């Protein structure tokens, strides 16, 4: 019995240590089904969950967010291991999966809930976000429409939205399937 207890304590301590080394960022990239599926393919991303970020009503439902009256963006909470992937590399991949000059529209999905955004929780991430943002801005002849601001709030979406494309492989997605292959193969130099 003591051995079992010691194993549980060791496992919990290991998980706690691993969690302390993880970083997080919140990325809105249009419909969160495809954005999550893309982001979770990236080596170094350890956990994703979809939800609603930076809105103005408490504990929103999908039906409320869908009305575009709540201020929320469909967003993916991304946890990643900075020893495997840098924030800079992660953001560069994110920008490959969105149209950064399209306002409130990604693919055929239209509405403020489909806006793009980078929402941070760590002030130390700001210089990296600004650097990548500027790299992308320099490519386009139009201003970027990607929000870049602190995370104000985030509510996890309903369970049927989590890992949607894993549960429904033929489900709707605004992203080209080639992007998923590219994400799986992407390696930091």
Task: Give me the pLDDT at residue 16, please.
Answer: 44
pLDDT digits (tens, 9 = 90+) for 99-110: 999 999 999 999
User: Tokens for 39?
Assistant: 């982001």
Task: Give me the pLDDT at residue 82, please.
Answer: 97
Residue 108 buriedness (CB in 10 A; 0-12 / 13-18 / 19+): exposed
User: Per-residue confidence at 20, pLDDT binned at 50, 70, 90?
Assistant: low
Concerning whether 149 is annotated as a catalytic residue, the answer is no
Percent of the chain topping pLDDT 70: 89
Would the pLDDT of 10 be above 80? no
pLDDT digits (tens, 9 = 90+) for 142-188: 899 999 999 999 999 999 999 999 999 999 999 999 999 999 999 88
Cα gap 101→109, rounded to integer Å: 14
User: Per-residue confidence at 60, pLDDT binned at 50, 70, 90?
Assistant: very high
User: Tokens for 132?
Assistant: 């990548």
Q: pLDDT higher for 128 or 1?
A: 128
pLDDT, mean of residues 49-64: 98
Cα gap 105→109, rounded to integer Å: 6
CB neighbours of 113 closer than 8 A, spacing ≥ 6? Answer: 52, 65, 66, 68, 72, 73, 74
pLDDT, mean of residues 126-148: 96
Q: Which domains does the chain have, with CATH numbers?
A: 22-185 (3.30.1060.10)
Residue 59 buriedness (CB in 10 A; 0-12 / 13-18 / 19+): exposed
Task: Give me the pLDDT at residue 146, please.
Answer: 98
Task: Give me the pLDDT at residue 166, please.
Answer: 95
Instruction: Catalytic residue, from 27, 31, 93, 118: name it.
Output: 31
């Amino acid at each position: 019995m003591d051995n079992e207890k010691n194993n549980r304590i060791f496992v919990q301590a290991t998980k706690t240590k691993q969690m302390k080394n993880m970083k997080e960022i919140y990325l809105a990239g249009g419909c969160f089904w495809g954005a999550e599926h893309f982001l979770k393919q990236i080596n170094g991303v350890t956990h994703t969950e979809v939800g609603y970020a930076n809105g103005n009503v408490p504990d929103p439902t999908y039906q409320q967010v869908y009305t575009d009256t709540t201020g929320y963006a469909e967003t993916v909470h991304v946890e990643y291991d900075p020893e495997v992937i840098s924030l800079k590399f992660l953001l560069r991949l994110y920008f490959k999966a969105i149209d950064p000059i399209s306002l409130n529209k990604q693919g055929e999905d239209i509405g403020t809930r489909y806006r793009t955004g980078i929402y941070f929780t760590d002030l130390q991430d700001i210089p990296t976000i600004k650097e990548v943002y500027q790299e992308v801005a320099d490519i386009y002849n139009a201003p970027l429409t990607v929000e870049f601001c602190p995370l104000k709030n985030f509510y996890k979406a309903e369970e049927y939205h989590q890992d949607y494309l894993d549960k429904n492989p033929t489900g709707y997605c605004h992203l080209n399937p080639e992007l998923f292959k590219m994400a799986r193969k992407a390696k930091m130099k």
